[in-house]
Amino acid sequence: MSEWNRVPLESLLKSGVSYGIVQPGSAEATGVPIVRVKDVRNGRIDTSDPLRVSPDVELKYSRTRLQGGEVLLTLVGSTGQVAIASDRLAGWNVARAIGVLRPISDISPRWLQYFIESEDAQQYIREHLNTTVQATLNLKDVRALPVPLPSDQEREGIVSVIGSLDDKIAVNERITATADTLANALFRRAMLEYPAGFTERPLSGTAEFVNGRAFTKGATGTGRMVVRIAEINGGPSASTVYNDIDVPEQHVAKPGDVLFAWSGSLTVARWFRPEAVINQHIFKCVPKHGYPQWLINHLVHRKIDEFRAIAADKATTMGHIQRKHLDEAVPVPDREVLQMLHAEIGPLWNRALLAEQENLKLGTIRDTLLPQVMSGRLRVKDAEKIVEDHT
């Protein structure tokens, strides 16, 4: 990057940097959705559970109303996270802790995203944080961020090669979401069409719920990942613990296993990462009676809202359920209906898992190439060859 001309970020924006709604007020079920810091992660914007604010409140912040194509940057707390608002977010707004960047026509939003993701920009952000109370990035420092500006051809080449990986990752995410949605629809349809083929049975009778252990204690820092609730929700991070320890098979998570965090966020997830060790507060759901993993996943999901309500009523620092709650009834298909469903849902489960595993590979390639091409150490043609050889 040292050979490339640098300009202040502000000079590449249409109208500087703006932050969003300062006082959102009470949430409104039918209000205007806004993007918060927690919604921006790993270059994506999670739109599954947005805060919705009164239209009257949102109207006062029209300057940050999204149209699609804006670059969003987190300014408070988990600073330096960046993502591009898609056209689907047109009409949304953002919270106070989100900066909205609208690049000029000559600058691709992806170029700004990729640079802000680079170690060069992240180091700048760390050096300019105000950490008196909570980590905060001031707008004046964002505006002054030195952005490298290689030739149009070089920028387009870099955006193209990294963007192709992002596009493939996005396709796989849609495949996973579609497969899981279709699987749920097929199960619900079967319950309606074949009510006699389902029997209410205890959830605990369908799987063995094996609790993890405190494998973070005395961790070696090498070996397999220790899966905690944070890793289920967001994958590995700088705080992830690794431990080179031998544990019983029942405490090992393998791709395709169903994991259920029974405290805190109460999350159910299909594990798709490499083999890992399961920490305490997480159940490994081991199917009984030859039941497939997808069925256990579906049955736990059917109870998850109820379990979360139970946990929310706990007068403890971290809500949780008890084993007795696993004895509550769920609709279990008989052998004939299960066989029919497995022929339809089994392939969907496997395809979703494959897409998730493919994205791990694509993400690794992306994370390897990004700093190389953004620093000018790797030519675009060489990066294109690497992508071609590995995808």
Residue in 99, 86, 96 with CA at minimum distance from that of residue 23: 96
291 and 378 together in one domain: no
Of 286, 308, 332, which residue is a domain's last? 332
79-107, pLDDT tens digit by residue?
999 999 999 999 999 999 999 999 999 99
CA distance 23 to 53: 10
* 366, HSE (Cβ side, Cα atoms, 13 Å): 20
- What element of type H or E holds 137? strand 136-137
Residue 140's alpha-carbon distances to 51, 99, 100, 127, in angstroms, are: 27, 12, 13, 14
For residue 241, count other CB atoms closer than 10 A to its CB. 19
* DSSP character at residue 86: P
Confidence check: pLDDT of 2 > 60: no
215 and 235 together in one domain: yes
In the chain, the number of structural domains is 3
- Mutual orientation of helices 152-193 and 293-312 as an angle, nearest 10°? 90
Contacts of 290 (CB under 8 A, 6+ apart): none
CA distance 26 to 322: 32
Q: Domain limits at 312? A: 199-332
Please check whether residue 234 lies inside any domain of the structure.
Answer: yes
CATH of the domain at 270: 3.90.220.20
Please check whether residue 160 lies inside any domain of the structure.
Answer: yes
41 and 91 together in one domain: yes
* DSSP character at residue 328: S
376 and 267 together in one domain: no
User: How confident is the model at residue 315, as a pLDDT?
Assistant: 54
Total residues belonging to the chain: 391
213 and 250 together in one domain: yes
User: How confident is the model at residue 357, as a pLDDT?
Assistant: 98
Of 306, 332, 358, which residue is a domain's last? 332
User: Residue 264's pLDDT band (boundaries 50, 70, 90)?
Assistant: confident
User: Residue 131's pLDDT band (boundaries 50, 70, 90)?
Assistant: confident
**What does DSSP say about strands 198-202 and 224-227: parallel, antiparallel, or unpaired?**
unpaired
288-332, pLDDT tens digit by residue?
999 999 999 999 999 999 999 988 886 556 788 999 999 999 999
206 and 326 together in one domain: yes
Contacts of 319 (CB under 8 A, 6+ apart): 263, 264, 266, 308, 310, 311, 312, 313
Please check whether residue 339 lies inside any domain of the structure.
Answer: no
- What element of type H or E holds 297? helix 293-312
User: How confident is the model at residue 316, as a pLDDT?
Assistant: 58
**More confident of the two residues 387 and 314:** 387
49 and 175 together in one domain: no
248 and 384 together in one domain: no
Q: List the alpha helices (DSSP H) in 107-213.
A: 109-117, 119-127, 139-144, 152-193
- What element of type H or E holds 5? strand 5-8
Please check whether residue 68 lies inside any domain of the structure.
Answer: yes
CA distance 345 to 340: 9
